[in-house]
């Protein structure tokens, strides 16, 4: 089994539709032992059965990344219960509602600060606090989206946060490479998750991606999970600082396919539902 003997922590599972759950499940199926975290009491109740499903029921820890003390406490708990760990999955992002709608120029500083703190700085803080218990061949993985590279309607502030996150991956990869620690990100195509529910017209985004991605399908949490497992395992021991796309190839498209009617008038080819 590819991950046999590996131990790690997954931050950011919300439910069984979460991309983080897909990664955790793929790692478990390949022999990994893990812990998972929850944001607050409401999520603790929801995640308890998921922790049992992942064989880590006793390793379910609180971690609100906006509270530095909870990150420090997570390190203490992981060291006590697991000793050294081999991987971290950071699947945490948040922007206030005002940052995901309306005109971009009207986004307030408070909303900007919150989004950058939760979605970006938390990766740095988590890795820094957990570094003393990371093995010398550890792997760190976070989650991005194409909206951090190109404009995506209704993504607004989160696009800026993802752009910052991707550069954070690269700078962390260089800084931690000397310690043998790898840092990568997966940029997944749109998936119907709890986080995606806050993005306006998300249903149209799913249809558009399916129609214009080369594979003509939307990806699943299982597909992203398997890619995540690869990046956390020794199979990717020579890979760091990468933004790995798992989006059916959508990111390579410069423009959608165009068809012409009998009069020679162009229109966008649409192979999905209208």
Q: Which residues contact 139 (CB under 8 A, 6 or more apart)?
A: 86, 87, 88, 181, 182, 183, 184, 231, 232, 233, 236
Distance in angstroms (rounded) separating the CA atoms of residues 156 and 151: 8
Q: Catalytic residue among 61, 145, 146, 250, which?
A: 145
DSSP 61: E
Instruction: Express the helix, strand and coil content of the chain in percent, nearest 5 each.
Output: 45, 20, 35
Indicate left, alpha or beta for 24 from its phi (over 0: left) and psi (-120 to 50: alpha).
Answer: alpha
Distance in angstroms (rounded) separating the CA atoms of residues 86 and 4: 11
H helix intervals, the chain:
19-29, 41-53, 68-82, 109-116, 122-130, 156-177, 202-212, 221-232
For residue 135, the SS3 value is strand
Question: Is residue 145 flagged as an active site residue?
Answer: yes
Q: Catalytic residue among 155, 230, 245, 250, which?
A: 155
Q: Do the Cβ atoms of 138 and 90 come closer than 8 Å?
A: no
Q: What does 172-222 look like in DSSP terms, one character per residue?
A: HHHHHHTTT-EEEEEEEPP---TGGGGSTTHHHHHHHHHHHSTT-S---HH
Question: Is residue 171 flagged as an active site residue?
Answer: no
The residues annotated with a catalytic role in the active site are: 145, 155
């Amino acid at each position: 089994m590819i991950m046999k003997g590996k131990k790690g922590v997954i931050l950011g599972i919300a439910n069984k539709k979460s991309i983080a759950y897909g990664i955790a499940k793929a790692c478990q199926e390949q022999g990994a032992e893990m812990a998972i975290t929850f944001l607050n009491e409401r999520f603790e109740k929801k995640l308890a059965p998921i922790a049992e499903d992942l064989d880590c029921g006793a390793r379910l820890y609180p971690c609100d990344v906006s509270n530095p003390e909870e990150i420090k406490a997570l390190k203490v708990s992981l060291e006590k219960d697991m000793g050294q760990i081999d991987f971290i999955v950071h699947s945490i992002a948040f922007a206030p509602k005002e940052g995901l709608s309306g005109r971009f120029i009207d986004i307030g500083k408070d909303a900007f600060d919150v989004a950058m703190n939760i979605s970006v700085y938390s990766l740095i803080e988590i890795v820094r606090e957990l570094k003393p218990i990371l093995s010398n061949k550890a792997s760190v993985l976070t989650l991005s989206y194409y909206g951090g590279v190109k404009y995506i309607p209704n993504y607004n502030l989160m696009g800026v946060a993802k752009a910052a996150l991707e550069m954070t991956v690269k700078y962390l990869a260089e800084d931690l490479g000397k310690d043998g620690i790898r840092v990568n990100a997966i940029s997944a195509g749109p998936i119907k998750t709890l986080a995606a529910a806050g993005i306006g017209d998300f249903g149209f985004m799913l249809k558009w991606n399916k129609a214009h991605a080369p594979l003509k399908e939307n990806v699943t949490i299982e597909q992203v999970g398997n890619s995540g497992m690869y990046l956390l395992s020794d199979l990717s021991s020579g890979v760091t600082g990468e933004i790995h796309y798992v989006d059916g190839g959508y990111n390579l498209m410069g423009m959608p396919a165009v068809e012409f009617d009998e009069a020679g008038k162009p229109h966008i080819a649409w192979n999905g539902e209208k």
